[in-house]
């Protein structure tokens, strides 16, 4: 009895280590499967023990080069190639990065982040990932911070390119009604925040840290200096491309 259960456990281990599919089967998935099935196939190919996985990925990269691979699969393909780590794949990926980095459009380097993300993962990044901190400043459907705009209105309502640009280049366009300023006051103090309201007599700022509102009499203001967006312009460096793609999906379509 004991021996039998030990050996069946060993069988389980062996089975778990075996690829779920042969390369011939993965090829059929890539040729006929839906995007979601192809995405899972790329994840398996990344660590597939059969060296023929390289040839299948090479064929998919050729499709990318001839503009025949759907953009929603680009990141999955590039990640699988990077994970396999052959000198050939590394060189191809580096060549692509270099070429896109030379583009006058700084967003070109992130074009694989526009389509194909996972909205549920995107919500997790938005709400929980400390390097992102989105929820400290933004709410989604009323839940979250009040420094920046509630982002729910963007859902089904805006170009993904705008969402990507807002994350990576926050100062390229400032959301209407969310300009930031520093105000020098007569008493020598300086207050700064996002302008959330202004009348003929006073101005209301939301604090950059917690969104708390404060109102200042305009008569006390001696100098007014526009400030850049409080969003860091470094999300392109601190977040992975996968995290960025998931965020774009979450903001564009929800989870
Ligand atoms: C320190 C506060 C802060 C943090 C953290 C922050 N944002 Fe923002 N965000 C703002 C403010 C303020 C604006 C409006 C000014 C502007 O357009 O940059 C804004 C604008 C945006 C916009 C454009 C909205 C529109 O209506 O066009 C998007 C999209 C966005 N943020 C997404 C994010 C995501 C995703 C994260 C997390 C990775 C994040 N932000 C983190 C403060 C923040």
* Residue-wise pLDDT tens digits, 62-101: 999 999 999 999 999 999 999 999 999 999 999 999 999 9
Q: Which of 113, 132, 146, 149 to mutate to test the pocket of ligand 1 (most atoms within 8 A of CB)?
A: 149
Q: Is the pLDDT of residue 33 over 90?
A: yes
Q: Looking at the 3D structure of the chain, how many domains does it have?
A: 3
Same domain for 93 and 18? Answer: yes
Same domain for 6 and 76? Answer: yes
Alpha-carbon distances, residue 105 vs 25, 79, 95, 165 (angstroms): 39, 23, 17, 11
Is ligand 1 within 6 A of the CB of residue 135? no
Q: How far apart are CA 227 and CA 236, in angstroms?
A: 21
Q: What is the pLDDT of residue 19?
A: 55
pLDDT bracket for residue 7 (50, 70, 90)? very low
User: Mean of the pLDDT values across residues 1-21?
Assistant: 53
Same domain for 129 and 238? Answer: yes
Q: How far is the CA of 168 from the centre of ligand 1 (A)?
A: 10
- DSSP for the chain reads -HHHHHHHHHHHHHHHHS-SS-HHHHHHHHHH--HHHHHHHHHHHTT-SSTHHHHHHHHHHHHHHTT-S-GGGHHHHHHHHHHH--HHHHHHHHHHHHHHHTSSSTTGGGGGGSSS--HHHHHHHHHH-TTT-HHHH-EETTEE-SSS--GGGGTTTS-HHHHHHHHH-TTTSPPTT--EEEEEETTS-EEEEEEEEE-SSEEEEE-TTT--EEEEEGGGEEEEEEE--SS-TTHHHHS-HHHHHHHHHHHHH--
- Percent of the chain exceeding pLDDT 70 equals 93
Q: How far is the CA of 211 from the centre of ligand 1 (A)?
A: 13
Indicate which CATH number applies to the domain containing 187.
2.30.30.100
Same domain for 16 and 87? Answer: yes
Q: What is the pLDDT of residue 16?
A: 52
Is ligand 1 within 6 A of the CB of residue 138? yes
Q: What is the pLDDT of residue 3?
A: 44
Same domain for 80 and 158? Answer: no
Is ligand 1 within 6 A of the CB of residue 119? no
Q: Is the pLDDT of residue 222 over 80?
A: yes
**pTM (whole model) above 0.75:** yes
pLDDT tens readout for residues 149-159: 999 999 998 99
Same domain for 138 and 242? Answer: yes
What residue numbers bound the domain in which 47 lies? 2-102
pLDDT tens readout for residues 129-150: 999 999 999 999 889 999 999 9
Q: Average model confidence (pLDDT) for the chain? A: 93
CB 126 within 8 A of CB 167: no
The two tokens of residue 139 are 């709410």
Q: How far is the CA of 223 from the centre of ligand 1 (A)?
A: 26
Q: Which of 138, 164, 210 to mutate to test the pocket of ligand 1 (most atoms within 8 A of CB)?
A: 138
Q: What is the pLDDT of residue 5?
A: 46
- Percent of the chain exceeding pLDDT 90 equals 91
Nearest atom (ligand 1) to Cα of 175: 17
Is 109 domain-assigned?
no
Q: Is the pLDDT of residue 4 over 80?
A: no
Q: Is the pLDDT of residue 1 over 50?
A: no
């Amino acid at each position: 009895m004991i021996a039998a259960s030990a050996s069946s456990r060993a069988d389980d281990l062996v089975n778990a280590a075996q690829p779920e599919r042969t390369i011939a089967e993965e090829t059929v998935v890539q040729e006929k499967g839906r995007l979601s099935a192809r995405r899972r196939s790329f994840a398996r190919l990344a660590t597939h023990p059969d060296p023929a996985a390289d040839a299948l990925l090479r064929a998919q990269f050729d499709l990318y080069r001839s503009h025949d691979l759907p953009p929603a699969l680009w990141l999955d393909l590039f990640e699988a190639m990077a994970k396999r780590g052959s000198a050939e794949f590394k060189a191809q990926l580096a060549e692509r990065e270099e070429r896109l980095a030379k583009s006058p459009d700084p967003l070109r380097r992130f074009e694989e982040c526009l389509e194909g993300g996972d909205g549920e993962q995107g919500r997790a990044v938005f709400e929980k990932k400390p390097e992102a901190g989105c929820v400290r400043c933004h709410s989604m459907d009323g839940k979250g911070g009040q420094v920046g705009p509630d982002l729910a209105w963007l859902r089904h309502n805006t170009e993904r390119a705008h969402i990507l640009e807002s994350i990576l280049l926050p100062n390229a366009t400032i959301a209407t009604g969310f300009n930031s300023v520093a105000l020098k006051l007569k008493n020598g103090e300086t207050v700064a925040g996002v302008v959330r309201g202004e009348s003929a007599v006073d101005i209301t700022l939301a604090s950059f840290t917690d969104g708390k509102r404060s109102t200042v009499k305009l008569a006390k203001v001696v100098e007014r200096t526009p400030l850049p967006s409080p969003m860091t312009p470094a999300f392109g460096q601190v977040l992975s491309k996968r995290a960025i793609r998931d965020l774009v999906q979450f903001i564009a379509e929800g989870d």
